[in-house]
Amino acid sequence: MSPSPIVIAHRGASGYLPEHTLAAKVLAYGQGADFLEQDVVATRDGELVVLHDIFLDEISDVRKRYPDRARQDGHHYVIDFDLAELRQLSLCERRRPGASEPFFPGRFGHWDRPFRVVTLAEEIELIQNLNRTTGRNVGIYAEVKEPAWHRKHDVDLSARLLELLQRFDYRAATSAAYVQCFDAGELRRLRNMCTLKLVQLVDANTMDSLDGPALDAIREYADALAPPYRKLMVGTSQGAELRPSPAAEAIRQAGLLLHPYTFRRDQPRSTGQEFERLLAFFYRVLRVDGVFCDHPDVALRVRARVVSQA
């Protein structure tokens, strides 16, 4: 196993509090996460904010607050709002697309005290101040969201992100920072722009087409690969024997760090014991270098147990 497989708090401690809120990030920090994830999108007035999507409909009251601001497709896009307008929104647990029910019914419910949109600068300031007061070095794990889409709206999101990271002294390969993206072309461009650790995100369909030469090509510009965890295993967590998939070994042979996503205790529905068994398999057998997890406290507890038994 990797000497120190990292636990990346996926959108914060999003299994307990609404994703990408400062409350979720503070909780993840307090639980002991090694890195906190930030999905980065741009506003109309050029601010970088931390939100998972380029639109707002499923995680806020934007339809109630700004009923006449949707585009023809029915979505309210972040880039159509100034930061001051976004500050008026109340963030909530993610809802199912086009519906009012929550995506994860057992998670944080309605609360009259609003959660607000946070800028990337504010979140980094929070993390760095917590690092000062605790003596820890919790890192950031930022994603460039939809770079081609932003470019069509006259925003070079990668350049803006790097500029902000450099302002906060994240500029070297040894910095406690990763930059991730699904767009391979954008990551190649980022490699020519910085020395930070870069992560190629891949979806399930892309994983099916990744062979040795394709992985070698990724290694030319990226330090790590972040695939869906299910593509790295054969079997299920519900009692059946778990085995590594061929893809897991191929990634290892390519020399890439392996950071699979996203481990959730409530997806699929399983007992806590089954979820911990799944995590232990990824630590002990697949020897991953890190995991994205909505429940960082559980991932950390299982890691500690596996390491103590090694």
Annotated active-site positions, please? 10, 52
Q: Which SS3 state, helix, strand or coil, does residue 178 take?
A: strand
What is the Cα–Cα distance from 135 to 132, expressed in whole angstroms?
5
Q: What are phi and psi of 18, to 5 degrees?
A: -55, 135
Contact 53, 42 (CB under 8 A): no
Instruction: Give the DSSP letter string of 34-70.
Output: SEEEEEEEE-TTS-EEE-SSSB-TTTB-HHHH-TT--
Give the containing element (helix H, strand E) for 273. helix 272-284
Q: At what angle do helices 120-134 and 22-31 cross, to 10 degrees?
A: 30
Q: What are phi and psi of 112, to 5 degrees?
A: -75, -15
What is the Cα–Cα distance from 262 to 201, expressed in whole angstroms?
12
Sort residue 287 into left (φ over 0), alpha (ψ -120 to 50) or beta. left
Q: Which amino acid is at 195?
A: T
Return the biggest CA–CA distance within the chain: 58
